[in-house]
Amino acid sequence: MEKHRRAMLQKAKRDFVRGNLKGAMEKLQRHFGVQQMLDRFRCYHKNCGRKLDHHAEICKCAGFYCHIHQPPQVHNCKEMKKILETKAKEAKDLEIKLREEGGDPPPEEKFDNKVEIGLLLEAHELAESIQAALKEK
- Alpha-carbon distance of 93 to 99, in angstroms, equals 10
The answer to whether residue 2 scores a pLDDT higher than 80 is no
Contact 37, 123 (CB under 8 A): yes
The answer to whether the Cα torsion of 60, 66, 92, 6 is positive or negative is negative
User: What confidence tens digit (pLDDT) does each residue in 116-136 have?
Assistant: 888 999 999 999 999 999 998
- Residue 1: the pLDDT is 57
The answer to whether residue 102 scores a pLDDT higher than 70 is yes
User: What confidence tens digit (pLDDT) does each residue in 49-63 have?
Assistant: 999 988 889 999 999
The answer for residues whose C-beta is within 8 angstroms of residue 106's C-beta and 6 or more apart is 29, 32, 33, 34, 35, 36
> For 48, phi and psi rounded to 5 degrees?
-100, -80
User: What confidence tens digit (pLDDT) does each residue in 19-52 have?
Assistant: 999 999 999 999 999 999 999 999 999 999 999 9
- Residue 124: the pLDDT is 95
